[in-house]
Amino acid sequence: MKATVTAFMLVKTTPEWLAMTVEQRIEAFRTRIVPVIEAKTKGVRSRFYDTEFYSARVTDVWVWEAADHEAYQLLVDALRETPFWDRWFEVAEILVGVENGYARNYGVDAVASITS
């Protein structure tokens, strides 16, 4: 899947989430969040980054890559129907972007650094 829309969802865990054991958190995610997402939308991929080591305001960054804007919007609607939204996590900020949109808009090659 080539993502058209990428959303960086900055969240902070709540005391309710942190009161769960690690096993309970994984089970809650597998049984209460993932099935709702899978039932409501297609063409969405997620990645998760822990940031609590470096930030007091945001504990995690969830990166959502969507095939199009509709898939992303359906994802947000699905998340809002789960305890994820404002119960287990406070959504601090959402930053949505299109990778190398400028290159596509201006018909130029994307500029990126590559190191090894």
Which residues are CB-contacts of 112 (< 8 A; sequence separation ≥ 6)?
none
Instruction: Report, as an integer, the average pLDDT of 18-47.
Output: 95
Task: Kindly state whether residue 18 falls inside one of the protein's structural domains.
Answer: yes
Q: Are the CB atoms for 64 and 9 separated by under 8 Å?
A: yes
Task: Kindly state whether residue 106 falls inside one of the protein's structural domains.
Answer: no
How do residues 33-89 score in pLDDT, each as one tens digit?
999 999 999 999 999 999 999 988 999 999 999 999 999 999 999 999 999 999 999
Task: Kindly state whether residue 113 falls inside one of the protein's structural domains.
Answer: no
CATH code of residue 39: 3.30.70.3420
Total domains, the chain? 1
Task: Kindly state whether residue 114 falls inside one of the protein's structural domains.
Answer: no
Where in the sequence is the domain holding 59, given as residue range(s)? 5-98
